[in-house]
Amino acid sequence: MPSIAELYNDALALSTEADMDVLKLGGVLLKILEHDPYLLEKLIDEAGLGTRKAYFIISIAVSFHGFEVEPKRLSKLGWGKLSIIAPHVHKDNAEELIELAEGATMPRLRVLMSRIYPPKNSVFMLMGFSRQDFEVVANALVKFGAVRNRRLGILNKEEALLNLIRKSAAK
C-alpha cells in the first residue's frame, strides 16, 4: 500500500489533470480521508478542489466502485453530472443512467432524475393504451417537454402532460 505522502501527491497530480479520472481521484481522496481528515482539508486547499467538489468525488467513487465502467467515459461526464446520478446508481441501472447523463445538460438531468425517482408523497396514475394510441400520446408528450429514452421509456412525462393540459385549458 502506498504511503500517505504518496497518496497525497497522487491526489494532487490527479486533481490537476484535464481529463480527471474521477473514480481514481475519489478512491485516493477516500483513503486520505480515512487516514487523516485534516490532511484531506489541506489537500483540498492546495489542489484548489473545493470541499463540496472533493466530497462529491469521494461519493461518486464509492457509488461506482466495482462497476465495469470506462473511467474516461465517466471523466467526460464530469463530477457535476456524476454527482446527480451517483446516489441512484447500482449495477442494474448504471449503463442507463450514464447514457441519460451523456445526453442531457446538468439542469435537464436534475429534472429527469427527479422524475425517475419521484418524491415520497407522489400519487400515481396508471393508463393503458393501444400501441397506436400510445404513439399519439408519446408524440404529444415529447412536444411538451418529455424525452424518449430507449431503455428508460418516456422521461419527464408528468411535467409534459401538465404543460399540455395547461396549454389546452388556456385556450
Q: What is the pLDDT of residues 30-56, one digit of tens each?
A: 999 998 889 999 999 999 988 989 998
List 153's β-bridge partners, or say none.
149
Ranges of residues in the chain whose predicted pLDDT is under 50: none
Residue 117 has a pLDDT of: 67
Whether 125 is in a domain gets the answer no
The answer to whether residue 79 sits within a structural domain is yes
User: Which amino acid makes up residue 162?
Assistant: L
Among candidate residues 115, 62, 107, the one with its CA nearest the CA of residue 80:
107
What percent of the residues of the chain are helix, what percent strand, and what percent coil, each to the nearest 5? Answer: 70, 5, 30
Predicted local distance difference test score (pLDDT) of residue 6: 92
**Are 151 and 85 part of one and the same domain?**
no
Cα 72 → chain centroid: 15
- Domain tally for the chain? 2
Q: The cell 502506498 sits on which residue? A: 2
The domain in which residue 138 lies consists of 131-169
C-alpha cell at 97: 443512467
pLDDT of residue 170: 83
Structural domain includes residue 123: no
Q: Are residues 30 and 75 in the same domain?
A: yes
Whole-number pLDDT of residue 112: 83
Instruction: Give the span between the Cα atoms of 44 and 166, in whole angstroms.
Output: 48
